[in-house]
Amino acid sequence: MSEVSSEIKKLTFMNVDEVLDFAVKSEESANRFYSEWAKKLSGKPIQQIFEELAAEELKHKEFLLGVKQGKTLTPSKQEITDLKISDYIVDVKTSLDMDYQEALVIAMHREKLAFRLYSNLSDMSTEENMKATFRMLAQEEAKHKLRLEMIYDDDILKEN
């Protein structure tokens, strides 16, 4: 079992609202991460990508708040390709002097973890609408990861 899976299984939720609150906080954290690092990496090619990801994480938060109000989210039937590039790249630590490649690696790993979080929450859910909601959010994070892996492939791997 992955480290993320075992950590999620340790979480205890009393009701659906607690699960959704946890997910909202996760999206807020992702938004803060990308927003803060976009500012710190000002002028670097990754800045715009991080700004876009920050905005998308806010959209995910809004999705979740909508679900709390009774909205149901439906996952796409389209399969998201996984290039698995991040599976073969060693994680790096954030630092003010990180370069473009390191920033991409950190972002890929974050999106991979977010995907696992929502996949595991979907698996743990007993209500079908919650399963669907978390599957849809997992797909969104998979899209982010794919986008970052494609950028990494184009800008880093093809250059070497």
Report the range of poorest mean pLDDT among 47-51, 82-86, 130-134, 144-148: 82-86
Position 82 scores a pLDDT of 84
Indicate the pTM of the whole model: 0.83
CATH of region 14-157: 1.20.1260.10
Position 35 scores a pLDDT of 95
pLDDT in tens, 110-143: 999 999 999 998 998 888 888 999 999 999 999 9
Is the confidence at residue 1, as pLDDT, over 70? no
Position 160 scores a pLDDT of 63
Q: For the chain, which residues make up each domain, given as ranges?
A: 14-157
Is the confidence at residue 4, as pLDDT, over 80? no
Position 51 scores a pLDDT of 95
Position 10 scores a pLDDT of 66
Rounded Cα distance, 31 and 51, in Å: 9
Position 6 scores a pLDDT of 52
pLDDT in tens, 8-61: 556 677 788 888 999 999 999 999 999 998 998 888 888 999 999 999 999 999
Which tokens go with 111?
């999106």
Is the confidence at residue 96, as pLDDT, over 80? no
DSSP the chain: --HHHHHHHH---SSHHHHHHHHHHHHHHHHHHHHHHHHHTTTSTHHHHHHHHHHHHHHHHHHHHHHHTT------SSPPP---GGGGS------TT--HHHHHHHHHHHHHHHHHHHHHHHHH--SHHHHHHHHHHHHHHHHHHHHHHHHHIIIIITT-
Is the confidence at residue 149, as pLDDT, over 90? yes
pLDDT, mean of residues 69-83: 83
